């Protein structure tokens, strides 16, 4: 396989973007990406979107996106893996370039979630859960993650302060991100005392409903070197895995097998260990999710994610910074765009261009994107060369 580099990144602002349609957001992110790369060549497009039909009534993004981008006749495909759809779009683009099928591929992640009511959005998101054994009985994703959180508290003694610190840390990071939906700081007291959603998770333990798009342009590393537009960023490892869609069918409610396998495969492909990673963007759809991911990836032992977070391990100045972008919690979570936005943050950090949230001397990044309650996951290792 050929070495694959990221030659351009682009994002919209994340938030309630009433003035923009799904096509507007795709075009805005793509044009920003082309401008960043300094080229306008395009051989193929991959689009990650979880549920554009349910959120906007618009399917067939594989025709819509190249049409409104002014690239009719360019091959395009939409990929879906629930909230991991964006990561899968990048993975698909990587494989197309690595195989030699194409030289320049655009990966776009998109979701326009606020054009429907809260109930309709809840229904659309619940399609990523097991319809017969979970959704049919009224269990929502906040409910599923709340059960995980309660089980973690009972088994390991995890506290509300430890869960709340995930939100505090990520909002602090997001307050320095101009793309973030909620760029403000919060306190642990505010998190704990916010509106209860599913005990023990409150409103500020949960990622928001968001509109937004993100894009990356990938090409052979040799082409990237010829462009000479800043530090070379190369995707050196990718891991992908799945698990049961229902949490009741898993051997251990508190261990995410898909995350363990995906991260192990990505690190193995890159020839790295978790100790080599300078920072990570992980899927903090709920505060407990970030803790479970850290434990499942082997950053800390089982049960130690809460104490490690409270002790500052995952802060910007900690030994293993997590979610310098603000994560899904502060930056926002337009589900199909999240995995691509994680790659954008990784590249921004590796270029040394993250401003007040910059991690010093960052050279190796990990991004972890997850579908549903851990039923699928894709992990990328991105390195500066």
83 is catalytic: yes
CB 91 within 8 A of CB 238: yes
Among candidates 241, 271, 239, which has minimal Cα distance to 364?
A: 271
State the Cα–Cα distance between residues 216 and 327, nearest whole angstrom. Answer: 18
206 is catalytic: no
State the Cα–Cα distance between residues 277 and 119, nearest whole angstrom. Answer: 39
Q: Which of 152, 179, 283, 333 is catalytic?
A: 333
Helix (H) or strand (E) holding 85: helix 85-98
All residues at 6 or more sequence positions from 69 whose CB lies less than 8 Å from its CB, including other chains: 26, 27, 30, 31, 45
Q: Which of 26, 33, 83, 344 is catalytic?
A: 83
State the Cα–Cα distance between residues 325 and 175, nearest whole angstrom. Answer: 9
Angle at 74 between CA 70 and CA 80, to 5 degrees: 100
Bond preceding residue 32 cis, omega within 30 of 0 = no
Bridge partners of residue 211, in order along the sequence: 15, 112
Crossing angle of the two packed helices 22-37 and 61-68, in degrees rounded to 10? 60
Supply the residues annotated as catalytic.
Answer: 83, 333
């Amino acid at each position: 396989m050929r070495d694959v580099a990221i030659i351009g990144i682009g994002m919209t602002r994340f938030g309630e973007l009433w003035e923009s349609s799904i096509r507007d957001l795709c075009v805005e992110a793509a044009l920003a990406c082309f401008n960043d790369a300094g080229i306008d060549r395009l051989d193929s497009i991959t689009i990650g979107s979880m549920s554009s039909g349910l959120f906007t009534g618009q399917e067939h993004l594989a025709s819509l996106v190249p049409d409104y981008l002014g690239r009719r006749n360019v091959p395009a495909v939409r990929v879906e893996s629930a909230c991991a759809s964006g990561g899968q779009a990048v993975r698909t683009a990587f494989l197309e370039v690595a195989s030699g099928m194409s030289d320049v591929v655009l990966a776009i992640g998109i979701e326009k979630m606020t054009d429907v009511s809260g109930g309709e959005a809840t229904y659309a998101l619940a399609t990523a859960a097991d319809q017969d054994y979970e959704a049919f009985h009224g269990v929502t994703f906040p409910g599923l993650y709340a059960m995980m959180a309660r089980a973690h508290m009972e088994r390991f003694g995890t506290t509300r302060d430890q869960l709340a610190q995930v939100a505090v840390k990520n909002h602090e990071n997001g307050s320095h991100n101009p793309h973030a939906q909620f760029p403000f700081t919060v306190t642990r007291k505010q998190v704990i005392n916010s509106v209860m959603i599913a005990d023990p998770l409150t409103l500020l333990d949960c990622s928001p409903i968001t509109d937004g798009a993100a894009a990356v342009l990938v090409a052979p590393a040799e082409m990237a070197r010829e462009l000479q537009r800043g530090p070379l960023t190369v995707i050196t490892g990718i891991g992908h895995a799945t698990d049961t869609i229902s949490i009741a069918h898993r051997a251990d409610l508190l261990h995410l097998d898909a995350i363990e396998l995906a991260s192990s495969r990505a690190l193995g492909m890159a020839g790295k260990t978790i100790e080599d990673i300078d920072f990570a963007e992980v899927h903090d759809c709920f505060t407990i999710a970030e803790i479970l991911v850290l434990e499942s990836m082997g950053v800390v032992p089982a049960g130690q994610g809460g104490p490690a977070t409270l002790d500052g391990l995952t802060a910007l100045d900690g030994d293993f910074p997590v979610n310098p972008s603000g994560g899904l919690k502060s930056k926002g979570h337009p589900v199909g765009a999240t995995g691509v936005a994680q790659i954008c943050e990784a590249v921004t950090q590796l270029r040394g261009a993250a401003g007040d949230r910059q991690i010093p001397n960052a050279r190796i990044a990990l991004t972890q994107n997850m579908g549903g309650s851990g039923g699928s996951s894709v992990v990328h290792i991105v390195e500066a060369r």
